[in-house]
Structure 1
Amino acid sequence: MNLQVRDRVTIFDGDGIPLAVGTIVNINNFREPCHKYAVDVDGYTEDVFFFGDKQLVKIEEENK
């Protein structure tokens, strides 16, 4: 998957149900794969959450 910092993503649970939307703020290949992406989740201001490739889908921009 080709995710980058500042990409908008939809976050899914293990059953494929969308949970939230957020923005990738950090990618660290040295974290466990299930915690590779730090995501600033919309509506949650306290901290970031960590997710893996299987939980994130990039939101494509409509202006392309």
Structure 2
Amino acid sequence: MSWLCAGAQDQQLEERTMPTTGEKPGPGIYACRDCGERVILDDPDDTLPPCPECDGTDYD
């Protein structure tokens, strides 16, 4: 039965969307998916900017 739990967890991970420019994902460190540059947000109201290195808009 443990494989059913693992499958459900994998499905939940796949359904999560990665944050993009303009969103307020909350405090944390976000890495640009294009170049790896890190952006640090320290306030819940901070909005993700375009990547300061390459202007990318998708983050991990």
Same fold (TM over 0.5): no
- What TM-score do you get using the length of structure 2 for normalisation? 0.33
> Which is helix-richer, 1 or 2?
2
Q: Which has the larger radius of gyration?
A: 2
> Which is strand-richer, 1 or 2?
1
- What TM-score do you get using the length of structure 1 for normalisation? 0.31
